[in-house]
Amino acid sequence: MASLAEPGWTTVIRPNRGVFDWRLGELLRCRDLISLFVWRDFVAVYKQTILGPLWHIIQPLMTTLMFTLIFGRVAKLPTDGVPPFLFYLSGTVVWAYFASCLTKTSNTFVANAHLFGKVYFHRLAIPVSVVLSNLIAFAIQFVVFLAFLAIYAAQGEAVRPNLWLLSLPVLLVMMAGYGLGFGIMVSALTTRYRDLAQLVTFGVQLWMFASPVIYPASHMPENYRWIIALNPMTPVIETFRYGFLGSGAPAPFQLAISMVAMFGVIAIGMLLFNRVEQTFMDTV
């Protein structure tokens, strides 16, 4: 048998690894595979559909119209002086990216067991590809948001973009980080507890109503502001709205705490993911 020290070996697969051995260098070498997964995720979702990628535009617009009618016209929730359509569209675009990253990565092991059982590659390549493919959808929806923002601004509406809009890359990293971290946590646990997969979608919907997506954080009742304060997505949504619409006020300290918490969530998710990865084929 050839020795591992012989020249020509490019990959060594070891059955036993420590929980802190995340093999990030190996993940980086899988970038071509990740790009293929991104293309697969983006194309396969709308295969054999009539409108195809146009659903990336239709879905947020229909959701925004529904929110504008129900929460803006009927419930008459405040929007900090911002046109309701823009207010709800901004929250919908941000939340859709985070929610999609979380729900799709939470099914990594179960949905791809047939692939994992046939060939070896860094298992984290699939969750990372989900985050990147969802980024394409976010880019499309973000362009639609900018188009409506320009239209409302040209009509003299009360929208005041400012330099906080430059924080968008940081906000994207935070949304992707939380979606990836929580998603791989759930994916690790669903190998044994399949009920969690059923609870994720329901939990994400509840989380949305606990986030300032359909209402400004400043108008939250005093008795429930602790919920907003503990929600890591609150500063992300509020900063996005302030940067592009001038709505509300930025919270740099809360944003910094949320950023630190995001790294903690990713670390815990990686620990669980790495531990389950070695044995999940026996239980999935």
* C-alpha to C-alpha distance for 175 and 110, rounded to whole angstroms: 23
Q: Per the domain annotation, does 7 fall within a domain?
A: no
Q: Per the domain annotation, does 76 fall within a domain?
A: yes
Q: Which residue has the tokens 């394409």?
A: 136
Q: What is the pTM of this model?
A: 0.86
3-7, 116-120, 206-210: segment of lowest average pLDDT: 3-7
Q: Where residue 51 falls among pLDDT bands split at 50, 70, 90?
A: low
Q: Per the domain annotation, does 53 fall within a domain?
A: yes
Top-confidence residue, 72 or 43: 72
The number of folded domains in the chain is: 1
pLDDT at 2 over 50: no
Structure confidence at residue 69 (pLDDT): 94
Residue 180 one-letter amino acid: L
Structure confidence at residue 192 (pLDDT): 74
Kindly report, residue by residue over 165-197, the tens digit of the pLDDT. 999 999 999 999 999 999 988 888 887 777 677
Q: Per the domain annotation, does 129 fall within a domain?
A: yes
CA angle at 210 for the pair 204 and 216, rounded to the nearest 5°: 125
Owning domain of residue 259: 27-276
Q: Per the domain annotation, does 13 fall within a domain?
A: no
Query: For residue 198, what are its two tokens?
Result: 């059923």
* C-alpha to C-alpha distance for 274 and 77, rounded to whole angstroms: 44
Question: Which residues fall within 8 angstroms of residue 233, CB to CB, at 6 or more apart?
Answer: 95, 98, 175, 178, 207, 211, 258
Q: Percent of the chain scored above 70 by pLDDT?
A: 84
Name the residue among 255, 216, 253, 251 with its Cα closest to residue 233: 255
Q: Per the domain annotation, does 5 fall within a domain?
A: no
Mean pLDDT for 244-262 is 89
Q: What is the SS3 string spanning 112-134? A: CHHHHCCCCCCCCHHHHHHHHHH
Kindly report, residue by residue over 62-111, the tens digit of the pLDDT. 999 999 999 988 888 888 889 999 999 999 999 999 999 999 888 877 77
pLDDT at 225 over 80: no
Q: Per the domain annotation, does 114 fall within a domain?
A: yes
Q: Beta-carbon neighbour count of residue 55 at 10 Å? A: 16
Q: Which residue has the tokens 């509020």?
A: 238
Question: Which residues fall within 8 angstroms of residue 29, CB to CB, at 6 or more apart?
Answer: none
Q: Where residue 1 falls among pLDDT bands split at 50, 70, 90?
A: very low
Q: Per the domain annotation, does 100 fall within a domain?
A: yes
